[in-house]
Structure 1
Amino acid sequence: MGTPRLTLAVLTVLPLVLGCAGDGGGASAEPGVTGVHWKVDSVTVDGVTRQAPADAGAGVRFGTDGTAVGSYGCNQFGARAAFTGHRVELTHAHRTLMACEPERMAFERALSRTLTGRSLAVGTKDGELTLTARDGDRVHLTEEKDVPLYGTRWTITSLGAGGTATSLPRPARGSAHLTFGKEPGRVTGRLGCNHVTAKATVRDGRITLGPAYTTRMMCDASLMRIEKRLLRLFDGTAGYTLDHRTLTLTSGNGETAEAVAGR
């Protein structure tokens, strides 16, 4: 989910977790399929196999509540996931509205066409998952472990408020990042321009950040605007969600910061 975004700076965050998803869950999922992040390696359509672009981050996680969430390689998506026997069908899919470079978008179209709205046979073996449609189109995936919160360099990719998320401007991409340390309970990093350090206490899905101590440099105006928004996460408590390689922080007033794990 650390995907370079082009063309559209602002996206509308569509519902990725469907409130009524459990109604379509149907039978239990295949053992070992739910609760795992599955990275998409390739998709085969009409006999032609496309390998996932490098660092596209395409993948899916099936929940035990009859939902599926993931990424097509550029856009995030959510859907209902109904398992019946050794088959699964993803319906009522919603996705974000970003645009990426042509190679990613071509792969995304092939993947979304194959993955959603079709009955797919489920095959698992030694950490691999194959989803195959009746006409032979298929998606090949491999299991990937979640990245730990602590000790990971989390690079900020977008900021959000009021239901929308905005990608960081080009000068700021890759410059804002945070790393959480379990001992002695601190966060360090850079806010786009200045370096920062603060106390950080993690408990029950929330992170309490102490006052930010920063350096005193002045940078490009766009970097300073990003820094000002990130500073609002400090000296307060933010909720956090960790999904594979993506960390989302949500402040008490609803502002969000999304970050991806460095490779």
Structure 2
Amino acid sequence: MTTVTALTTLALLALAGCGTDTGRGSDGAAEAGSEVATDLPLTDVRWSIESLSVDGKKTAAPAGASVEIDSKGKASAQTGCNSIGAQVTIDGDTITVGEKQTTLIGCPDELAAFEKALGGAFSGKLKAKVEDKKLTLTGADGDSIDLSAEKPAPLVGTPWAVTGLLSGGTTSSLPKDKKGETGKATLTFAKDGTVSGNLGCNTFSAPAKTTDTTITFGPVKATRKLCPEPGMSLERELLKVLKGKVTYEVHHRGLTLKTADGEGLSAGAGTPAK
């Protein structure tokens, strides 16, 4: 039996939405443990959470919900809102959920409700079954979570939807209006060395010279509409990032951009552009 620092992709989601914090690290991930020893091909794969079945009722997962466990036992999960980590024990095809950690970003009501339901299903001992790039986790009461292996997304040609803002190593949620709605922003890098999209209010385009680790943005050209909040606030934050040279990282279907002073953004992949 091998104890690993695995990301309890799921039950933790409930903690994320409800604001429970055991607080270890800004990214919510547990510390690396010993190398994983299991015959199941679970590690070094980003698993997209597809659905949750509780008491015979199946609920689709929100966009961006995923989990990943590396070969050293360090795991992390993304819900489209919070990052979560936990201690689990893997014995053959049995996963036992232990200590949990989560970030504390406020989530929309619909996501918080899903996380709460998921928290009830992901507890105790779970049976893991991997078949044809699909993963199923099933509890003793028959509740289950269905996941599928994600295909990595390329930087160029993928529409990236902005999901969070970075500052000094901390991720925060996007600005919200009085109803709790967040701004929506997208960016797509093209083969001709440009980037275009929506800043949350105005559409924009700019030169974008890329290397393996950096992107150098040229002057941004944007429309000049005045928009209600949170569009304008989000636009101001993004314009701070899309300026000069930044570092970037694409990890499976997630993108992060960071400036030299620690400001940045996180984004999730959509459908590849044609």
Normalised TM-score (structure 2) = 0.73
Secondary structure, counterpart of 1:34 in structure 2: coil
Residue aligning to 1:33: 42
RMSD: 3.2
- 1:153-192 matches, within 5 Å, as 153-162=159-168, 163-170=170-177, 173-174=183-184, 176-181=185-190, 183-191=191-199, 192=201
Q: Return the match for 2:125 from 115, 119, 124.
A: 119
Q: For residue 241 of structure 1, report the CA deviation from its aligned partner.
A: 3.3
- 1:227-242 matches, within 5 Å, as 227-242=235-250
Residue aligning to 2:13: none
Contact 2:81 2:163 in 1 (8 A): no
Q: For residue 242 of structure 1, report the CA deviation from its aligned partner.
A: 3.0
Contact 1:152 1:262 in 2 (8 A): yes
Larger relative strand fraction: 1
Contact 1:61 1:69 in 2 (8 A): yes
Change in Cα spacing, 1:216 to 1:38, as seen in structure 2 (3 Å) is closer
Q: How many percent identity over aligned positions? A: 30
Residue aligning to 2:205: 196
Residue aligning to 2:10: none
Contact 2:175 2:233 in 1 (8 A): no
CA distance in 1 between partners of 2:103 and 2:97 (Å): 17
Matched, 1:17 2:23: no
Secondary structure, counterpart of 1:121 in structure 2: strand
Residue aligning to 2:220: 213
Contact 2:183 2:234 in 1 (8 A): no
| Runs of 5+ unmatched residues, structure 1 | 1-5
Q: For residue 218 of structure 1, report the CA deviation from its aligned partner.
A: 4.3
Normalised TM-score (structure 1) = 0.76
Deviations 1:88-125 (A, max 9, x none): 334332223323224x4333123233335x33222111
Q: For residue 26 of structure 1, report the CA deviation from its aligned partner.
A: 5.8
Contact 2:215 2:248 in 1 (8 A): no
- 1:71-90 matches, within 5 Å, as 71-72=78-79, 75-90=82-97
Matched, 1:60 2:67: yes
